[in-house]
């Protein structure tokens, strides 16, 4: 079983509006409403991969009730802590003619200290026997930037493997507590290491720097694949996995699906190349559907055969 944790859960509404122009009146050609937030997106993708998963986190007010109802309607097992303040709603406008995607995200609820303590107690219970506990997404108001670090430190003591997918101070502080895996996207990784990433060598150095910070394994996702630093059979491997270029419908949430694909394969003890190939294929398939965490497993299987995985060598090791 994999447990996903979403502190800033939301109701995500995606409107498809061809030829969208700000300041004009439009009629949406389609609409999609889902429970959202990075951890929930990951849970949805794991469910599609037939990986046992439980989604937990914080949910408040009528919006929180609807988040739980939406997850239950999708047959995603969930066990959220109910809080007093209202969970957020996010609205996105997808323009298929321009290939653009615009988002408006609310700040989210204010969380009281006792509500955070309730969540930690729930995590102690849910983590028993879990293959991974995944902490993903932003932190709502009232939650200290060190929350992920505190939770990971405690689960490490319980010998539970933890995964962190966040950004900013919550990411940098969480890495210091030695999670099993961190999975920032390219922009988040650039912010973390303090430099832009262009060439393979840049990504290799960033992964090594992230490992020096404390992460035991690392993925850096980008538009069509990922770079990875993985410990496998007492050795460290540096790999790059890329999918064929496809015309995306919506790129939002593809990193969440990629991470889910990797965890699903890694939990089956597949070799690193196979796990990365499955991850990147799932992420690429997710760009062909609106709604974060959604993808067609048949499309992922088709893309899988065209995913390229290459072993990378640091510059100093080539001489």
Q: What is the pLDDT of residue 157?
A: 95
Contact present, 119 and 154 (Cβ < 8 Å): no
Q: What is the rounded distance in angstroms from the CA atom of residue 70 to the CA atom of residue 82?
A: 15
Task: State the Rg of the chain over Cα.
Answer: 19
Give me the CATH number covering residue 190.
3.40.1190.20
Any bridge partners for residue 55, and if so which? 4, 78
Q: What is the rounded distance in angstroms from the CA atom of residue 84 to the CA atom of residue 86?
A: 7
Q: How far is CA 222 from CA 76, 92, 188, 205, 247, in A?
A: 27, 21, 10, 16, 15
Q: What is the pLDDT of residue 318?
A: 53
Q: How far is CA 307 from CA 150, 187, 264, 280, in A?
A: 37, 23, 17, 7
CA torsion, ordered 222, 226, 227, 228, to nearest 10 deg:
140
Q: What is the pLDDT of residue 129?
A: 85
Domain extent, residue 95, equals 2-317
Q: Which residue has the tokens 């995913």?
A: 307
169-227: per-residue pLDDT in tens?
999 999 999 999 999 999 999 999 999 999 999 999 999 999 999 999 999 999 889 99
Q: What is the pLDDT of residue 53?
A: 98
E-strand stretches of the chain = 2-6, 10-16, 30-36, 53-60, 77-83, 88-95, 100-105, 132-136, 162-165, 181-182, 218-222, 225-232, 235-242, 308-311
Residue 243 burial class via C-beta count within 10 angstroms: exposed 0-12, middle 13-18, buried 19 and up: buried
Residues 6 or more apart whose CB falls under 8 angstroms from that of 236 comprise 229, 230
The DSSP output letter for 296 is: -
- Residues lower than pLDDT 70 in the chain: 315-319
Q: What is the rounded distance in angstroms from the CA atom of residue 4 to the CA atom of residue 44?
A: 10
User: What are 127's two structure tokens?
Assistant: 């983590």
Total count of domains within the chain: 1
Q: What is the pLDDT of residue 92?
A: 85
């Amino acid at each position: 079983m994999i447990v996903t944790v979403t502190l800033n859960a939301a109701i995500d509404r995606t409107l498809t509006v061809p030829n969208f122009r700000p300041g004009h009146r439009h009629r949406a050609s389609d609409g999609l409403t889902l429970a959202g937030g990075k951890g929930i997106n990951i849970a949805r993708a794991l469910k599609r991969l037939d990986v046992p998963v439980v989604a937990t986190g914080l949910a408040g007010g009528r919006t929180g009730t609807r988040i739980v109802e939406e997850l239950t309607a999708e047959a995603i097992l969930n066990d959220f802590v109910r809080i007093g303040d209202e969970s957020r709603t996010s609205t996105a406008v997808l323009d298929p003619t321009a290939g653009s995607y615009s988002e408006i995200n609310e700040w989210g609820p204010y969380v009281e200290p006792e509500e955070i303590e309730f969540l930690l107690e729930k995590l102690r219970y849910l983590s028993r026997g879990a293959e991974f506990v995944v902490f993903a997404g932003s932190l709502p108001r009232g939650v200290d930037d060190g929350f992920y670090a505190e939770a990971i430190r405690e689960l490490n003591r319980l010998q539970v493997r933890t995964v962190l997918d966040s950004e900013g101070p919550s990411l940098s502080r969480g890495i210091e507590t030695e999670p099993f895996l961190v999975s920032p996207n390219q922009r988040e990784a650039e912010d973390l290491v303090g430099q832009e990433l262009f060439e393979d060598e840049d990504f290799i150095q960033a992964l090594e720097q992230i490992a020096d910070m404390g992460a035991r394994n690392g993925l850096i996702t980008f538009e069509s694949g990922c770079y990875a630093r993985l410990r496998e059979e007492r050795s460290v491997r540096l790999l790059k996995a890329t999918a064929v270029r496809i015309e995306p419908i919506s790129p939002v949430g593809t990193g969440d699906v990629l991470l889910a694909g990797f965890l699903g394969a890694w939990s089956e003890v597949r070799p690193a190349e196979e796990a990365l190939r499955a991850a990147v294929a799932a992420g690429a398939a997710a760009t062909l559907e609106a709604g974060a965490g959604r993808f067609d497993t048949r499309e992922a299987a088709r893309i899988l055969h065209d995913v390229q995985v290459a072993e990378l060598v640091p510059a100093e090791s080539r001489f």
